[in-house]
Structure 1
């Protein structure tokens, strides 16, 4: 997992040759909300990008707290990494997610 800023993405931090395949927008109001909280791991075979627009929290990678994030951060999840965002701010967590095609 790498934590980036929006300026880094514009500067080419998204892996060369990758395009957005699909994505979405999410808002979670409750502090302590954990994405993909179903049993088992949550992984992909392609990179996933999270752009954090509002709120803050911790990213969990492969079962361990990896880093804090806040509005303005961009998180690049590598293929195969089990990942979960955990909201802990006073305002709702708002982000977009994108799967990058191979």
Structure 2
């Protein structure tokens, strides 16, 4: 896992804002998540209800608001507003929101193709 702050991003006018962190020409998947107090992402979702959650590519999380803990391969990393977390391929990860100040996160993946909603009709 790589952790940095929003102000550490390179100023760019082309490509995507996380171009130095996520390989790929386009942001191709992602979303905005509003966690409930104490919520833990990706819990009991794997085969047989295991907690394992990994990807074959890098994933970025931007903490837009709140506090919490990013669990990566069983290790806990405190997070707060303005943090950017890059999860490496194969890293088991879960975001746990604080009870007092729940997190709002933007998460995304990048790839060689645009998101299906941005592709030109064939």
Q: Please, what TM-score do these two structures have when normalized by structure 2?
A: 0.72
Q: How many pairs align?
A: 100
Q: Does 1:35 align with 2:34?
A: no
Q: Which runs of 5+ in 2 are unaligned?
A: 12-18, 45-49, 113-122
Larger RCO, structure (CA 8 Å, separation 6 or more): 1
Structure that is richer in strand per residue: 1
Q: Which runs of 5+ in 1 are unaligned?
A: none
Q: Does 1:86 align with 2:92?
A: no
Q: Please, what TM-score do these two structures have when normalized by structure 1?
A: 0.85
The counterpart of 1:64, out of the listed 57, 70, 75, is 75
2:84 maps to which residue? 74
Output the CA distance in 1 between the equivalents of 2:25 and 2:99.
Answer: 32
Aligned-pair RMSD on alpha carbons?
Answer: 1.9
- Over 2 Å off, 4+ runs: 7-13, 15-19
